[in-house]
Structure 1
Amino acid sequence: MSTHELARLTADVVAFAWRDGSWHVLMVQRRWDPYRGQWALPGGHVDVEESFRDAA
């Protein structure tokens, strides 16, 4: 068993909307530790043979 971590690519999304005279950004609350319940940009790991666009 290896003790080395593998590097994982991620794809995150920044989605803006102009509404009621101001900018808004889409955020999600994390469902898993670490940082469960904290606000974050939506996104996640890119699976093998998955494009960044599909992952996003």
Structure 2
Amino acid sequence: MQDYVNHENIRRYEKLIAISEGDPSRDEGRHQTLLRLLAEERAKDVRRDDSPNT
């Protein structure tokens, strides 16, 4: 279940970042927050892939 949530978060952040990048009047602070959140979700995904299956 956590994998599903993680992947959905990644998809959502990618979508919001793409919208933000195309907006000439974007809020730079919000954009940076989205980039940070995306990086955190991707890091969780990598850590889970590296962990042994028990």
Same fold, TM-score > 0.5, yes or no: no
Which is strand-richer, 1 or 2? 1
Higher RCO (CA < 8 A, seq sep 6+): 2
Structure with the largest fraction of helix: 2
TM-score by length of 1: 0.20
TM-score (norm 2): 0.20
